Amino acid sequence: SACMADGAESLRQTILGNDGQFQAYAAWLPREKSQALTEKSLEWVTQHQDLLKARGTGGHVRRCHGDLHLRN
């Protein structure tokens, strides 16, 4: 997988993409709940953006499936 040089921005884009999908399923996931999740997620990224950027620059952020473990 390719290195993501700016881990914070990459994560923001993923969160915003997920939010778009949440909106498409508002009948199952009310907008106020999905919007709260999106806002909290973006806040977390902002709080940790320096660490995420450093990890991305250091080659420690990868675009891959999120449940990696030793049995994969």
Over residues 18-46, mean pLDDT: 94
pLDDT given at position 57: 81
Measured CA to CA, the distance from residue 12 to residue 53 in angstroms comes to 12
Measured CA to CA, the distance from residue 5 to residue 55 in angstroms comes to 8
State if pTM tops 0.75. no
Handedness of CA 52, 56, 60, 62 (dihedral sign): positive
Over residues 35-49, mean pLDDT: 96
Say which residues have a Cβ less than 8 Å from residue 64's Cβ, sequence separation at least 6.
1
Give alpha helix (H) positions in 25-72: 31-47, 49-57
pLDDT in tens, 47-61: 999 998 888 788 876
pLDDT band at 3 (very low <50, low <70, confident <90, very high): very low
